[in-house]
Amino acid sequence: LIDVSKIDIGVTLFGQTFASPVAVCPLSAQRAFHPDGELASARAAKARSALQMLSTVSSTSIEEVTKARGAPVWFQVYPTSDIEVAKALVRRADAAGAGAIVLTLDLLGGGMRRETMQRLARLDDKPCEACHGAPAERVTQNLRRPNYQGIDMSGVRTFAAPAFTWDYVSTLRAITKSPLLVKGIMTGEDAKLALRR
């Protein structure tokens, strides 16, 4: 017998308060689904006071999405073979007022989303290249995404960081005052190392 007539499921993360713990996760190229793309998602997140995370390879820039959201969004950063690109993305997100930087580890080498792959592999047996193109084509496609505009991409060979270590994370941590989150830790060993940082 507890009064549940007024329930507050709000959550505060890194100084931002949201109506619930449900978030709009980073999904790239949303204009493939609707002409307004991430701007529609931003308006929906604003209407519901929801956290929105923006993909590096979104079809709309972080500046435009932040304006449509009317509040900071979190910005997902994919590492590349050139750390200068990741640093430029972090600086861009900071300048746009990002609420947090989310460094994504679970796409190294083209795809480490094991849970999703295991669940959906039974339904779709096509190779990834059928929809996303060969790795070299993906690099070319991503070079045209709005968040990469104005960034020197000439040193990028892959959208992965083969020599990726905790030093890469520390380098990004050193250039931003925003909270830096690491998404996609896959092993207990890495989780232990993260706690020591």
The pLDDT value recorded for residue 125 is 66
CA distance 79 to 114: 19
Cite the beta strand spans of 85-176 per DSSP E: 100-104
CA distance 84 to 63: 20
> What pLDDT digit, counting tens, does each position of 27-65 carry?
888 888 899 999 999 999 999 999 999 999 899 999 999
> What pLDDT digit, counting tens, does each position of 108-157 carry?
554 555 565 566 666 666 666 655 556 555 555 666 789 999 998 888 87
Structure pTM?
0.81
